[in-house]
Amino acid sequence: MNPSPLLLSNYFEGEFREVVQAEGEFLIASPADLRDQVARFRWSTQDVPRAIESAERALKAWRRRSPEERFAFLRAYRDALKGHAEEIADAIAREVGKALWEARAEVQSMVAKVDLSLGEALAWTTERHLPEIHGEIRYRPLGVVAVIGPFNFPGHLPNGQIVPALALGNCVVFKPSEKTPTTAYWMARCMHEAGLPKGVFNLIQGGVEVAQTLLQSPALGGVLFTGSAAVGREISRISLDHPGRLVALELGGKNASIVLGDCDLERTLRNLAFSAFATTGQRCTATSRLYVESSIAERVIEGLSRITRELEVGHPKGGHIFMGPLISEASRERWLAALSKAEQGGYQALVPGSATSVEGHEGWYVRPALHIAPHAAHEVEGYSDEELFAPDLALYLVHDLDEAIARSNASRFGLVASIYTARREAFDEASRELEVGLLHWNRPTTGASSRLPFGGLRASGNHRPAGILAGAFCADPVALLHADPTAAPPQWPGMR
User: How are strands ordered across the β-sheet holding 392-398?
Assistant: 348-351, 369-372, 392-398, 287-293, 255-259, 416-420, 438-441
- Euclidean distance between CA atoms 179 and 254, whole angstroms: 23
| Identity at 345, one-letter amino acid code | G
Helix (H) or strand (E) holding 345: none
**Rg of the chain, C-alpha, whole Å:** 24
Length of the chain: 496
> Exactly one of 95, 102, 178, 250 is catalytic; which is it?
250
- Euclidean distance between CA atoms 218 and 20, whole angstroms: 25
Helix (H/G/I), strand (E/B), else coil: 9: coil
Identify the CA nearest to 226 among candidates 410, 467, 391: 467
> Exactly one of 102, 284, 403, 474 is catalytic; which is it?
284
- Euclidean distance between CA atoms 272 and 443, whole angstroms: 9
* Active site annotation includes 250: yes
Cβ atoms of 438 and 416 within 8 Å: the answer is yes
What one-character-per-residue DSSP string does 389-434 give? -SSEEEEEEESSHHHHHHHHHSSSEESEEEEE-S-HHHHHHHHHH-
- What lies within 8 Å, CB to CB, of 241 at 6+ separation is none
Torsion of CA 7, 10, 15, 19, to 10 degrees: -80
- Euclidean distance between CA atoms 258 and 436, whole angstroms: 13
Helices H, strands E: what count in the chain? 13, 26
- Euclidean distance between CA atoms 171 and 214, whole angstroms: 14
* Active site annotation includes 343: no
User: How are strands ordered across the β-sheet holding 475-481?
Assistant: 128-130, 135-141, 475-481
In the DSSP assignment, the letter for residue 279 is G
- What lies within 8 Å, CB to CB, of 473 at 6+ separation is 222, 224, 246, 248, 464, 466
Partners of residue 417 on adjacent β-strands: 256, 439
Active site residues per annotation: 250, 284
